[in-house]
């Protein structure tokens, strides 16, 4: 029966494939817009189009490999990892965010997007397999984080259990505390995923493949407007040795 189903599959033409590529970019932007307006968990929806764009599917090659206009040399990283790093929390920052409607305050991480961030061309393989978070010997690559969210944590599937290191991230094991109150900053995984979406859209914009307007010049105006704590501009990073002058970007 499986052979019959496979033999009845009708290939899509290049126009159809390109249209579906553009749909994936739409999905990324929609999830990003929801997140930027305070619906933090909505960014999980972006994990599925990220997986669709960048990972091998059951039938056929990776989607971006089917789009001739995609230049795999033009993928950009916003991380800046010092040598001998102990802790690197990625291009994200802790803030206290006041929701515009109900005036409740979340102590959360947000992505820096392009604010105070330099982008470095690293190519696709280094980008997708590059580290975006490091803590005392534990690290997360972009590929890992996308898969954890998509396959375990509600992006595309809900597992009954989470991989241990991802569970620790979700439950603030790696998060800093704010004072007064010793409050653990939440949603580090969501901020990192939003930054990955930003890097992806930034890269596709550099390839002239975005069919919609996407601003990559500054942090979200919603974050700035509703922040009630000083905005942390510098990366949260610790390393051994002298003042760092050498960095890696994936």
Is the pLDDT at 196 greater than 60, yes or no? Answer: yes
pLDDT at 174: 87
Question: Does the N-terminal peptide bond of residue 235 adopt cis geometry, omega within 30 degrees of 0?
Answer: no
Alpha-carbon distance 46 to 121, whole Å?
22
Burial of 175 (0-12, 13-18, 19+ CB in 10 A): buried
The HSE-up count of residue 201 (CA atoms within 13 Å, CB side) is 28
Alpha-carbon distance 87 to 236, whole Å?
8
**pTM attached to this predicted model:** 0.89
Q: Once rounded to an integer, what is the mean pLDDT over residues 182-206?
A: 95
Mean pLDDT comparison of 77-81, 154-158, 241-245, highest-scoring range: 77-81
Alpha-carbon distance 71 to 64, whole Å?
9
Give the residue extent of every domain in the chain: 13-248
Residue 225 pLDDT grade (very low, low, confident, very high; cuts 50, 70, 90): confident
As a 3-state breakdown, the chain gives helix, strand, coil percent values, each rounded to 5, of 40, 20, 45
User: What percent of the chain shows pLDDT beyond 90?
Assistant: 52
Residue 41 pLDDT grade (very low, low, confident, very high; cuts 50, 70, 90): very high
Region of 52 (left: φ > 0; alpha: ψ -120 to 50; beta: rest) is alpha
Which of 54, 71, 75 has the alpha carbon at shortest distance from 121?
Answer: 75
pLDDT in tens, 106-165: 999 999 999 889 999 999 999 999 999 998 888 999 999 999 999 887 655 565 666 888
pLDDT at 221: 82
Q: Are 154 and 44 in contact (CB under 8 A)?
A: yes
Alpha-carbon distance 173 to 196, whole Å?
21
The HSE-up count of residue 236 (CA atoms within 13 Å, CB side) is 21
């Amino acid at each position: 029966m499986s052979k019959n189903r496979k033999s009845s599959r009708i290939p899509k033409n290049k126009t159809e494939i390109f249209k579906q590529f553009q749909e994936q970019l739409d999905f990324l932007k929609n999830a990003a817009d929801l997140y930027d307006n305070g619906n933090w968990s909505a960014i999980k929806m972006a994990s599925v189009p990220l997986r669709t764009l960048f990972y091998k599917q059951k039938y056929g090659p990776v989607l971006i490999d089917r789009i001739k206009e995609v230049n795999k040399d033009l993928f950009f990283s916003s991380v800046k990892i010092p040598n001998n790093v102990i802790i690197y929390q990625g291009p994200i920052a802790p803030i206290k965010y006041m929701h515009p409607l109900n005036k409740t305050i979340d102590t959360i991480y947000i992505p820096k997007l392009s604010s105070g961030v330099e982008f470095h061309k690293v190519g696709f393989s280094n980008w997708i397999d590059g580290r975006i978070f490091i803590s005392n010997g534990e690290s997360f690559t972009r590929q890992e984080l996308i898969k954890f969210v998509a396959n375990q944590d509600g992006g595309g599937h809900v597992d009954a259990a989470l991989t241990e290191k991802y569970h620790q991230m979700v439950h603030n094991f790696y998060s800093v505390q704010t004072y007064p109150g010793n409050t653990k900053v939440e949603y580090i995984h969501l901020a990192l995923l939003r930054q990955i979406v930003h890097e992806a859209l930034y890269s596709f914009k550099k390839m002239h493949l975005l069919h919609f307007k996407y601003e990559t010049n500054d942090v979200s105006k919603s974050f700035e407007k509703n922040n009630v704590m000083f905005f942390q501009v510098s990366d949260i990073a610790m390393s051994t040795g002298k003042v760092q002058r050498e960095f890696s970007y994936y």
